[in-house]
Structure 1
Amino acid sequence: MISDNEKFNMQVKPNSVFLNELKSKLPEFFDLEGNFDLDKFKGQLKEHNINELSDGYQLNFIGKDYARRQAGEMPSTVIVPDEEQNNGEGKDSKNLFFTGDNLEVLRHLQNNYAGKIDVIYIDPPYNTGNKDFVYPDKFEYSDGKLKEMFGMDDVQVERLKSIQGKSSHSAWLTFMYPRLYLAKNLLSKKGVIFVSIDDNEYANLYEILTDIYGEIQVDTLIWNKESEGKSGTLKAVSQYRRIHEYIVVAYVNKKDNKFNKIHEALEGRENEFNTANLAVNGSNEDINHSNYFTLTSPNGKKYTRQWKWSKEKINELINEDLIYWGKDGEKQPRLILPMDERRTVYLSSILNYGSTTSGREDFEKLFSKDIFSYPKPIKLLKKILEATTSKESIILDFFAGSSTTAEAVMQLNAKDSGSRRYIMIQIPESTFTVNSNGEKIPAEGGKTAYEAGFKSIDEISRERIRRAAAKIKADNDLTLPKDFDGSFKHYRVVNPTKQTLEDIEDFDPDNTTLFTDMVDSFSSKGLDVAGDATGEQTILTTWLAKDGYSFDANIKKIDFDGYEASLVEDSRLYIINNGWSSVNTKSLLNKIGTHQIIVQTIVLFGYSFNIADLRELEIGLKQLDNNINLLKRY
């Protein structure tokens, strides 16, 4: 027997996701059998000249049909809650962190976060040719199946399969397309996505976003990654030094999307704002004080004084553009007074916020070690989010990396008492490999991280959030909002084990006896991951996402004569564990019949029921006056 999701995936075609979206928005162009009426659609377009439209540019690459099909598939993984984190420091948090393949996580989020994300920022692999990207997704179908699904011949199949493990442009496009397509479904009506990239894939990224969002919905920003001095990471070419990267922006509806104005320093306009001494009065200076140190102006002039704040605090003020160095940039620094120091402007198409060096320094303030390559600077992310979010926005980053986005969200919330929420997704990329002797050795580029005790990138991501939250609390002790959210709920998105898949395949729903406890195979222990989740908790969490519930949905345990089931939002009952019997059916029918509980839908884990108990439950529910929907899932 195959699972419900596998049955669905077998029917998916390259254009399934597009047709479903079209059907939801333009149902008048579909007949009773669900077929798209192309002639009717063409008739509506006649005044726009079909011939001109058909001659337009189209994005094509060898894996496009495969990528389109991936965008239409349902998840084959389960969501395992990290019960240790979620019942500990993350218990009251509204933020989410997913460890797993971002394509699978995006599939899971399609139901419970569709249309709810306000801003997406991602910093995906740049595909520079320096081993920063190889195509990781596996082709799970035979050559014959690939030919059947996509109408390919032998040569085309070989070309498609050749991208696996490669870093070609086609490989990168095939990797990015389904992820960007699914991401669009999550954006709100005024949602926007920002994607960082460099020259290597800029043109292809622009065309992907144009293909998905429409040509008029895409813009390009330029980030000057040397805006705060030499970054030390610039790639020289024979003609010039590259000091920029791109941030491609795509809107769900550009004409209705108005960005906020952001705060900018009035550098060089001293008559427009007031300043105050940053240094302690000369007669009160103490050369032995911890605040006695040297500050260097943008033009290199040094000032050694006792200052009113620590070096760390003053560096933060510098990063916030709250220090004034005079017109020529080399006067003794002064503090720009909070009420008068800044003007508000719209985000510029050329972004001079932070640098690759300051991004590394942001990270090293928390870890004291350079264990992550090229994290984006917090200042850049804060300006983007300041321009695009309200205090209640939800922000998604599905290439979380070092979690710069999460820290930027927390810093903004601390600054304006906001309640923005973030969703981070990071694959558990290992910092080590196993050699021929079975010994763990650091992976290329992962030596410092591995020696620091981090076995995977997602561990670094989560630890940065914890350390950043602690620092924000320490730095803003008196002004921090009481409801400041400095934590997250954590979930691991993983594949069932091979044994579980075999048990699913062998399962016969007509058997009167169950031989295998399928529920336990979905526990943390059964899936060989940390987190202490039971199989029931994993299945329930996975199904809640499928059914459109948030990860903080109201769940009540209801006892049916010794068997506990989960009632969600006082409407949907989930029956998952083994052991259901006639006694439990009688108790359920009694509670519903006497209105002790109100249930609209009952969802049960089919592998936990033998045929006799299942039929008894079905018959009993039909005899009730209540019209209850019974869903059996496999």
Structure 2
Amino acid sequence: MQTDNERYNETVQPNTAFLNELKEKLPEFFTKDGSFDLDKFKDQLKDKNINELSEGYQLDFIGKDYARRQAGEMPSTVIVPDEKQNQGEGKDSKNLFFTGDNLEVLRHLQNNYQNKIDVIYIDPPYNTGSDGFVYPDSFEYSDDKLKDMFGLDDDQVERLKSIQGKSSHSAWLTFMYPRIVLAKKLLAEAGTIFVSIDDNEESNLKEICDEVFGETNFVSNIIWNSRKSVSNDALISLNHNATLVYCKNARIFNDRKGSFKLPLSKNGFNNPDNDPRGIWKADPFDSPGIRPNLTYKIKNPNTGEEYLPPEGRCWRTGPNEYQQLLNDNRIIFGKNGTSKPQLKRFYFEVKDKGQTTKSIWDDVGTSTDGTKEIQSLFGIKLFSTPKPTSLLIKILELSTNGNSEIVLDFFAGSSTTADAVMQLNAEDDGHRKFIMVQLPEQTYHTNKDGKEVPTKGGKTAYDAGFRSIDQISRERIRRAAKKIREDNELALPKDFDGSFKHYRVVKPVKQTLEEIDDFDPNNTNLFTNMVDGFSSRALNIDGDASGEKTILTTWLAKDGYSFDADVQDVKFDNYTAHKVEDNRLYLINEGWGADQTKELLNRLGTHQLEVQSVVLFGYSFNVAELRELENGLKQLDSKVTLIKRY
């Protein structure tokens, strides 16, 4: 008999090791049959792909090169902490909520969450024509710049710009493509992503995911029975949504797919004979196959009747093992003791094996149930078709075990995902953490007279005092957490996390950008405090964050630190710097001078302070201050890098 390795070795070709390495690193370029897609690989190497504008709508959709470029861009925004929330109710929370454009948030998270997210669930716009989706990007580049970027002529530039403000397939694909690309980079190697969609864009979503994740990383298409009522005005009533499931790395996923199961239900288990080992259910004692050593007569001790295995089958064990099971009260003969032998299977023996889920989910509630949940929390109907928490709980039960997994939803909506995370943690003492991202989509617009007018579908929320969707999302988390605490009382885990830290991701205001453009480092007198331009006050948003706090938060993310990193204030005379994990020292505010440089060099030289690098906000320093600090650090025996940022 050959070993697995021997059988494998018979199939090895000269390029097998190379192809296996490619498949590990670049699974998206392999087809279902394991062949390398060279044409697809060549397309990715191209700087420009003008075929997308001449061929029209395929996967080479109008805007694909633009979408690819967006996936590679750095964030142009800053992360502004909500100090009232983060130093108040969310102070000790490990959960995160970001208000802002999810593409920008995904760009920021690339630095400190790449390969760290265990589960992503998103419910993006379905592009139904009535869900309000239009392509939001305004192409802030000039026509000449677009021509240069993508190698286009005048007609092709016009075709590219034609998707602005539209809800075409190409517009939707251009919107989704960079978000899916960045989402993949955030997933852990053993991670999975679930994307809900309906018929309008399901095939296009599958094309994107196949290209980004690779066909070999497709797991399933789960069909959810989303409504029970019938639309009589439709040719066929649409009563389902699809949820596409992909993994990051098929090899790792397959190694661990035994854990990709639902908790085993206790349905069918009971204990009619009060067995001290607990509840059980009866399984057949026969199994497939014909084996002489497992084919023998079994006598029912109650009736004396003898049984042989059914035709084409054999018993599970040999005679000796059977007798041991019988003596151990593991064999029964039907409810009345008059039937063929059965094996008692105890719940404690099989519960950890889990239960394989079906691809059709009709047991997790409907959109109506999701609406009722919102109504029970707010007393009014704020969303038309929210997902029920039972759907998200089932997804989380399937893909997590409660061991501090991070769950990301960057189309947070009503924060059903966050609610589900908290509910499941309360139920199984889990430590899952959530990251929610929601655009501050307003529930009103301002007319020519300066009067606020509720948007279509936003009146109920506006009248209830909510000016944007993200406000509702955060309030949902607070109210859901309160309900969970009330429902569970003493049974709630002591370390239950029912809050979140809140950050707003915003573009600097025009005046700040203009001041940056006009900044002259040779000017020894800094007339403008550049730091203050990044405060929540200057950015015209809530949150009470200083400009220094905004810059520090943005840089910590950029440098790969988590949002609960250990940040310590370090005083140099009257100047406050910030040290992170004995690694970096951040100098942001103005006021640094020769005395501070001397004190810093002394502490570093005598090892009173241990850091590997000093990071400073260049707009707070003039040339003389920079030169003095830079020269001083170079003279130290220990290597300390100076990083200047603008």
TM-score, normalisation: structure 1: 0.79
Counterpart for residue 429 of structure 2: 417
Distance change in 2, residues 1:155/1:274 (3 Å): farther
| 1:447 counterpart (459, 477, 501) | 459
Counterpart for residue 245 of structure 2: 249
What is the aligned length?
526
| 2:539 counterpart (527, 530, 553) | 527
Give identity over the alignment, percent.
62
- Structure 1 residue 148, shift from structure 2 partner: 0.6
Counterpart for residue 355 of structure 2: 345
Counterpart for residue 194 of structure 1: 194
Counterpart for residue 373 of structure 2: 362
**Mean CA deviation greater in 187-196 or 511-520:** 511-520
Distance in 1 separating the partners of 2:232 and 2:517? 52
Q: Deviations over 1:120-166 (max 9, x none)?
A: 00000000011420011221111011011101111111111111111
Superposed, 1:120-131 pairs within 5 Å as: 120-131=120-131
Other structure's SS at 1:525 match: coil
| 1:469 counterpart (469, 474, 481) | 481
- Structure 1 residue 362, shift from structure 2 partner: 1.5
Q: 1:591 and 2:587 equivalent? A: no
| 1:559 counterpart (571, 576, 601) | 571
Please tell me whether the aligned partners of residues 273 and 341 of structure 1 are also in contact (alpha carbons under 8 angstroms). Answer: no
Other structure's SS at 2:242 match: strand
Q: Deviations over 1:517-574 (max 9, x none)?
A: 0000101111111000010000000000000000000011011111110001111000
Distance in 2 separating the partners of 1:50 and 1:94? 43
Distance in 2 separating the partners of 1:524 and 1:102? 20
Counterpart for residue 4 of structure 2: none
Look at both structures and tell me which one has the larger radius of gyration over its CA atoms. 2
The amino acid across from 2:397 in the alignment is E
Other structure's SS at 2:489 match: coil
Counterpart for residue 631 of structure 1: 643
The amino acid across from 1:577 in the alignment is N
Q: Deviations over 1:456-507 (max 9, x none)?
A: 0000000000000000001011111100000000000000000000011111
Q: 1:66 and 2:66 equivalent? A: yes
Q: 1:237 and 2:234 equivalent? A: yes
Counterpart for residue 511 of structure 2: 499
- Structure 1 residue 261, shift from structure 2 partner: 2.3
- Structure 1 residue 220, shift from structure 2 partner: 3.9
- Structure 1 residue 347, shift from structure 2 partner: 2.0
Counterpart for residue 11 of structure 2: none
Distance in 2 separating the partners of 1:272 and 1:176? 52
Please tell me whether the aligned partners of residues 553 and 569 of structure 1 are also in contact (alpha carbons under 8 angstroms). Answer: yes
Counterpart for residue 434 of structure 1: 446
RMSD after superposition: 2.7
The amino acid across from 2:465 in the alignment is G
Counterpart for residue 536 of structure 1: 548
Distance in 1 separating the partners of 2:43 and 2:547? 54
Distance in 1 separating the partners of 2:361 and 2:111? 35
Please tell me whether the aligned partners of residues 94 and 501 of structure 2 are also in contact (alpha carbons under 8 angstroms). Answer: yes
Q: Deviations over 1:3-62 (max 9, x none)?
A: xxxxxxxxxxxxxxxxxxxxxx98xx9xxxxxxxxxxx9xxxxx9696899899982101
The amino acid across from 1:603 in the alignment is V
Please tell me whether the aligned partners of residues 274 and 341 of structure 1 are also in contact (alpha carbons under 8 angstroms). Answer: no
Please tell me whether the aligned partners of residues 389 and 417 of structure 2 are also in contact (alpha carbons under 8 angstroms). Answer: yes
Q: 1:377 and 2:388 equivalent? A: yes
Other structure's SS at 1:429 match: coil
Counterpart for residue 15 of structure 1: none
Distance in 1 separating the partners of 2:150 and 2:395? 40
Other structure's SS at 1:524 match: coil
The amino acid across from 1:364 in the alignment is Q
Distance change in 2, residues 1:381/1:52 (3 Å): closer
Distance change in 2, residues 1:631/1:274 (3 Å): farther
Distance change in 2, residues 1:76/1:235 (3 Å): farther
Counterpart for residue 145 of structure 2: 145
Please tell me whether the aligned partners of residues 111 and 546 of structure 1 are also in contact (alpha carbons under 8 angstroms). Answer: yes
Distance change in 2, residues 1:341/1:451 (3 Å): farther
Q: 1:403 and 2:400 equivalent? A: no
Other structure's SS at 1:476 match: helix
Distance in 1 separating the partners of 2:437 and 2:527? 37
Please tell me whether the aligned partners of residues 77 and 104 of structure 2 are also in contact (alpha carbons under 8 angstroms). Answer: yes
Counterpart for residue 617 of structure 1: 629
Distance in 1 separating the partners of 2:116 and 2:40? 36
Please tell me whether the aligned partners of residues 59 and 211 of structure 1 are also in contact (alpha carbons under 8 angstroms). Answer: no
- Structure 1 residue 370, shift from structure 2 partner: 0.4
The amino acid across from 1:156 in the alignment is Q
Please tell me whether the aligned partners of residues 558 and 566 of structure 1 are also in contact (alpha carbons under 8 angstroms). Answer: yes
Please tell me whether the aligned partners of residues 226 and 241 of structure 2 are also in contact (alpha carbons under 8 angstroms). Answer: no
Structure 2 residues without counterparts, runs of 5 or longer:
1-20, 30-34, 45-56, 275-346
Other structure's SS at 2:490 match: coil
Distance change in 2, residues 1:459/1:355 (3 Å): same
Distance change in 2, residues 1:559/1:569 (3 Å): same
Distance in 2 separating the partners of 1:477 and 1:140? 53
Superposed, 1:379-394 pairs within 5 Å as: 379-391=390-402, 392-394=404-406
Structure 1 residues without counterparts, runs of 5 or longer:
1-24, 30-40, 42-46, 276-337
Q: 1:604 and 2:600 equivalent? A: no
The amino acid across from 1:77 in the alignment is T
Distance change in 2, residues 1:52/1:88 (3 Å): closer
Distance change in 2, residues 1:578/1:125 (3 Å): same
- Structure 1 residue 447, shift from structure 2 partner: 0.3
Q: After TM superposition, which residue ranges in structure 1, 4 or more long, deviate above 4 angstroms?
A: 47-58, 264-267, 269-275, 338-344
The amino acid across from 1:143 in the alignment is D
Please tell me whether the aligned partners of residues 220 and 246 of structure 1 are also in contact (alpha carbons under 8 angstroms). Answer: no
Other structure's SS at 2:89 match: coil
